[in-house]
Amino acid sequence: MFINTIKTGFLMFGLVFLFVAIGGALGNQQGALIGLIIAGAMSFYSYWFSDKMVIKSYNGQEVNSQNNPRLYHLIQRLSKNADLPMPKVYIIPERQPNAFATGRNPQNAAVACTAGLLELMDDNELAGVMAHELGHIKHRDILISTIAATFAGAIANIARFLPYASGGNNRNGEKRRNNVAAAMLVSLLAPIAASIIQMSISRKREYMADRAGAEFSGNPLYLRNALQKLENYSHSIPMNREDPATAHMFIINPFSSLGSLKNLFSTHPSTDDRIKELEKMAREENLL
């Protein structure tokens, strides 16, 4: 887990560096500063209101001990295992089996699962999935992924203006054309680089949440079995509400992959690789 944390730090630095470079190219130091202020404001808003925005967008229905004792008491037990405050619990009215966590910190967090997940999973598998989501809360992944997504989006938006800002009143026509061509190339490549970094961060955090989920639920095979089911069912049952911007939040990407480029642009590691890591943990604990 420590190695993945270090890698995440380097990737986050890469996003910030790329953002400052694009801001500087657009308006020198002033452009970079303005860009950082805009990104900071966007990050703060997303960080503070992410739980309410996402739950509302998916029509989440809050769960308590009376209307769904199975799910509520399961989260209570897992939260105690994880040494976390009890989060708010929601059910999303979707047939696709899936789950996510959101919220700005462990004291203001929420976990949600779809109605399809509750129908498909037995109690052990459900524990594995929801423990994974509590792992995201424990590691404050909601904050990290929100900031990464904000910077990547800001880079993409700012890069669009580079071709118009290049050259200025330069009287040398050839030099001006070269500047514009270079700016157009950067405006195309910078958002791609930012997206690759953002997705790499997301994949590292998924591995960490898988390990935490195995520990909090008490058995790596619970989540292993759940992931096998999710891989079989999630991609064949579409989500009614499609918002690719939220794909990184779910335990399995609920939207279609990108073919041969899926490894670079995927928000999640391959399910096979995640299962291998969980089975490795199980063997270390003499459970396989």
- Catalytic residue list contains 133: yes
Q: In what order do the strands lie in the sheet with 109-114?
A: 61-62, 88-92, 109-114, 99-103
Of 94, 125, 133, 242, catalytic:
133
**CB neighbour burial string for 52-64, b if at least 16 within 10 angstroms, e if fewer:** eebbeebebeebe
Is 132 one of the annotated binding-site residues? yes
Give the DSSP H or E segment for 155: helix 141-159
**Rounded distance, CA 11 to CA 91, Å?**
33
Q: Return the sign of the alpha-carbon dihedral for residues 14, 15, 21, 22.
A: positive
- Contacts of residue 147, defined as CB under 8 A and 6 or more positions apart, other chains included, come to 12, 43, 46, 47
Residue 285 identity (one-letter amino acid): E
Contact indicator for 132, 209 with CB cutoff of 8 Å: yes
* Element counts in the chain: helices (H) and strands (E): 10, 4
Query: DSSP labels for 59-84?
Result: T-EE--TTT-HHHHHHHHHHHHHHT-
Which residues are marked as active site? 133
Q: Provide the annotated binding site.
A: 132, 136, 206
Q: Provide the annotated binding site for Zn(2+).
A: 132, 136, 206
